[in-house]
A and B are shown apart, each in its own frame.
Chain A
Amino acid sequence: MVQVNNISKSFVNRKKKKIEAVKNVSFECRSGEIYGLLGPNGAGKTTTLRIIATLLKPDSGAVIVNGLDNQKEPDKVRAMIGFLTSDMKVSGNLTGREFLRFFGQLNHLSEEKIEERTRMLVEMLDMANFIDRAPNKLSSGMKQKLSIAISLIHDPDIIIFDEPTNGLDIFASKVVTDFLKEMKRQQKTIIISTHIMSVAEKLCDQLGLIFNGQLVENDTIENILKKHEAAEIEDVFFAYANSMGVIQSA
């Protein structure tokens, strides 16, 4: 279970201007649930996920992962988390299998465990035909599958994926969403961010709408639609975008 309690984070940009990326965000994701953070680019989704994954420290607030404060015990929390961020790109001359072995070793798995997990992930993500090829010879969909496998090699309880279907074609995207459903079935705690409404609607049990660093909605999709008397999440999303002055360039 992941509890995000009132976290805030600001940065200073190159013009020395303070930017509040995340403002008092709170939500909770239980085991066997998928929580989706839906928001436009620059809304604070990635920053929130990076804070949960211990890559960034919040200015205030706390994140509790399976009862552990992720700032006080980051190493233990990392062992429980599988994190995939949209700017992660596997590259280099090692094969996919060698990458999985490398990250398995870094997660202190035994050789037997690495082989077992590799076999399992290759099957689940349909990677058999490219697992022994180097990333520079893979399509973006194949690379994404490999990145997912790398992030989950240590069989973590908590899965945090930032824009997992970003840039993927419809087939690769389906493999990823099906995989996440299977992870949910295995009682994993899953938090994803996306700006694709259909992905959020299909996958998520709980949804957090985030604009300008603020979580403006945090409920089940059904409740959000009922509250706004809307037919689709897209209607709610654009209503907030208009009211909060978020202008998206075409």
Chain B
Amino acid sequence: MLKDALIIMGKELRNIFRDKRTIFSTIILPVVLFPVMFGIIGLITKANEEAKAKAEYTVYIESTLSQPDELTKVIDEIHKVGNFGIVNDGINEKTIESNSTAVGLKIGKNGDIFVATVIYNSVKEKSTYAAQKIREALMNLNNELVSAELLSRGINPQELNFVQVNDMVVGVSAENGNVEEAKAKGQFTQMLAALVPYFLLIYIFAGSMGLGIDTTAGEKERGSLSILLVNQVSRTSIALGKILYLMLMSILTSVLNLVGLVIGLYLEMSFLGEANMPFSIELDAIGYLLLFITVILLALISSGIIIFIGILARSVKEASGYITPIYMIILLFGISTMQSEGSKAFYYYAIPFINIIFTMKDIFIGTFSVANFLTMLVVNSALVVLFVYLTAKIFNSEKVLEVTVE
């Protein structure tokens, strides 16, 4: 049975890899698309940030400060934080609203306290950026004034800290116990635990949909399925062969999509000057093996569902109509599991499909349990066997020939 299934799988793979469009959309596009997309986003964001930083801004000031040197101090601080021209003859709100590089500052004093209002157009990026810089300048002025006041009272501001907090990070390793590196690794692991299972779920299912429908309902429509059925190969072998083919293709497309995604994210971060994010996973060989098993199971179940529905449907259109709502439900499941952490109650691991996501998260964040893993393995393996059985049943029934008499 397995030999025949492998022959069918091999034929399907040869067939698909001869199709230039499929090679482009399945292999080349995922690896190229994300890096290009994220690279362009990174470049645009970087150019935008640079344009904001380089732009010449005008601060319209309306001052009620009585001492001229107080306003000079404020203006000095503003000059320190950016490229600002000063117009000290009142504020025209219309000018600020229409000019993206204009910002207003009303400043006065209430006793010893400077009271400032920053006026800007929150719809415009540059105006918002300029307002943020003005706030930064005013906070710098505040810090200087506080320091000067403390020093005048004989207090060193540096000595005002009565609590010192240090971090010690466990669960991830860092060179020479570098806490910042460990923190960054931990953040990256959290990100992986949230994103990777979700994206795998989406890519594996979405990647299998088109190919799965084509190899079942598509073959029915083209009339090529009946050629298989009149041969000596068992229906179970046909079902298994098609599921195995789809499983391999869905794993391939999802891995390539993930590789593209990671390269894309890395490119974007590089352009934004955040490339120090550690792109490493805290997994040992067993961790990778367990992760591999979960990916295989996820792909097998997705393929099983799609092949079953595809063979049940009478046409490609009908199959798409059945599978799309299931895909939407899976998307919702995926989103709902994205933020949840591992270590769920035991019964969560008895829910097929979703338990794979929880197990993947457990593997990433180190809360893996053998009992939970075995439960997940047994439940999903049983489901795969059930889908192979049901698909073989459909292949054995007359429904597979979609006999409809009008």
Q: Which residues of A contact B232 (CB under 8 A)?
A: 75, 78-79, 106-108, 154
Closest CB in chain B relative to A92 CB, distance in Å: 5
Pick the contact of B227 from A56, A79, A88, A108 — CB < 8 Å? A88
Contact A91 B224 (CB under 8 A): yes
The CA of A21 and the CA of B16, in the complex, are separated in Å by: 38
Flag whether B19 is at the interface (Cβ < 8 A).
Answer: yes
The CA of A81 and the CA of B233, in the complex, are separated in Å by: 13
The CA of A20 and the CA of B222, in the complex, are separated in Å by: 26
The CA of A151 and the CA of B404, in the complex, are separated in Å by: 25
Flag whether A165 is at the interface (Cβ < 8 A).
Answer: no
Contact A56 B401 (CB under 8 A): yes
Flag whether B406 is at the interface (Cβ < 8 A).
Answer: yes
Q: A98-B14, A102-B7, A106-B233 are in contact. Are A11 and B403 (CB under 8 A)?
A: yes
Flag whether B398 is at the interface (Cβ < 8 A).
Answer: yes
Q: Which residues of A contact B234 (CB under 8 A)?
A: 75
When C-beta atoms are compared, the residue in chain A nearest to B397 turns out to be A57
Q: Which residues of A contact B228 (CB under 8 A)?
A: 106
Contact A13 B405 (CB under 8 A): yes
Q: Which residues of B contact A98 (CB under 8 A)?
A: 11, 14
The CA of A78 and the CA of B234, in the complex, are separated in Å by: 11
Beta-carbon contacts of A49-61 to B below 8 Å, as 1s and 0s? 0100111110000
- Interface residues in A1-59 by Cβ distance below 8 A to B read 11, 13-14, 19, 21, 50, 53-57
Contact B406 A94 (CB under 8 A): no
Flag whether B66 is at the interface (Cβ < 8 A).
Answer: no
Flag whether B285 is at the interface (Cβ < 8 A).
Answer: no
Flag whether A175 is at the interface (Cβ < 8 A).
Answer: no
The CA of A94 and the CA of B18, in the complex, are separated in Å by: 8
Contact B223 A88 (CB under 8 A): yes
- Chain B interface, number of residues (Cβ within 8 angstroms): 27
Beta-carbon contacts of B374-401 to A below 8 Å, as 1s and 0s? 0000000000000000000000001001
The CA of A98 and the CA of B167, in the complex, are separated in Å by: 64
Which range holds the interface residue count of chain A?
A: 35 or more
The CA of A94 and the CA of B406, in the complex, are separated in Å by: 35
Q: Which residues of B contact A94 (CB under 8 A)?
A: 11, 14-15, 18
Flag whether B229 is at the interface (Cβ < 8 A).
Answer: yes
Contact A78 B230 (CB under 8 A): yes
Flag whether A125 is at the interface (Cβ < 8 A).
Answer: no
When C-beta atoms are compared, the residue in chain A nearest to B406 turns out to be A13
- Interface residues in A86-126 by Cβ distance below 8 A to B read 87-94, 98, 102-103, 105-108
The CA of A53 and the CA of B226, in the complex, are separated in Å by: 11
A-B contacts, CB under 8 A, total: 79
Pick the contact of A90 from B18, B227, B398 — CB < 8 Å? B227
The CA of A61 and the CA of B24, in the complex, are separated in Å by: 53
Q: Which residues of B contact A191 (CB under 8 A)?
A: none
Contact A134 B405 (CB under 8 A): no
Closest CB in chain B relative to A157 CB, distance in Å: 14
Contact B14 A57 (CB under 8 A): no
Flag whether A220 is at the interface (Cβ < 8 A).
Answer: no
Q: Which residues of A contact B226 (CB under 8 A)?
A: 55, 85, 87-88
The CA of A90 and the CA of B11, in the complex, are separated in Å by: 13
Q: Which residues of B contact A90 (CB under 8 A)?
A: 224, 227
Flag whether B4 is at the interface (Cβ < 8 A).
Answer: yes
Pick the contact of A106 from B7, B16, B224, B405 — CB < 8 Å? B7
Pick the contact of B230 from A11, A55, A91, A105 — CB < 8 Å? A55
Q: Which residues of A contact B14 (CB under 8 A)?
A: 93-94, 98
Contact A93 B230 (CB under 8 A): no
Contact B231 A106 (CB under 8 A): yes
Contact B405 A81 (CB under 8 A): no
When C-beta atoms are compared, the residue in chain A nearest to B18 turns out to be A93
Pick the contact of A103 from B18, B227, B401 — CB < 8 Å? B227
Q: Which residues of B contact A85 (CB under 8 A)?
A: 223, 226
Q: Which residues of B contact A54 (CB under 8 A)?
A: 230
Contact B223 A89 (CB under 8 A): yes
Closest CB in chain A relative to B66 CB, distance in Å: 86
Q: A19-B405, A78-B230, A93-B19 are in contact. Are A56 and B398 (CB under 8 A)?
A: yes
Closest CB in chain B relative to A227 CB, distance in Å: 31
Flag whether A147 is at the interface (Cβ < 8 A).
Answer: yes
Contact B18 A134 (CB under 8 A): yes
Beta-carbon contacts of B231-243 to A below 8 Å, as 1s and 0s? 1111000000000
Flag whether A211 is at the interface (Cβ < 8 A).
Answer: no
When C-beta atoms are compared, the residue in chain A nearest to B226 turns out to be A88
Beta-carbon contacts of A64-88 to B below 8 Å, as 1s and 0s? 0000000000010011010101011
- Interface residues in B183-235 by Cβ distance below 8 A to A read 222-224, 226-234
Contact B11 A89 (CB under 8 A): no
7 new A-B contacts, CB < 8 A, other than A13-B404, A21-B405, are A85-B226, A89-B224, A94-B15, A103-B231, A108-B232, A151-B230, A154-B232
A-B contact pairs, 17 of them (CB 8 A): A11-B403, A11-B405, A13-B405, A21-B405, A55-B229, A56-B398, A56-B401, A79-B232, A90-B227, A91-B222, A102-B7, A102-B11, A105-B7, A106-B7, A108-B232, A147-B227, A151-B230
Enumerate chain B interface residues (CB-CB to A < 8 A). Answer: 4, 7-8, 11, 14-16, 18-19, 222-224, 226-234, 398, 401, 403-406
Enumerate chain A interface residues (CB-CB to B < 8 A). Answer: 11, 13-14, 19, 21, 50, 53-57, 75, 78-79, 81, 83, 85, 87-94, 98, 102-103, 105-108, 134, 147, 150-151, 154
By Cβ-Cβ distance, the 7 closest A-B pairs, closest first, are: A93-B18, A89-B223, A83-B230, A87-B223, A19-B405, A106-B233, A11-B405
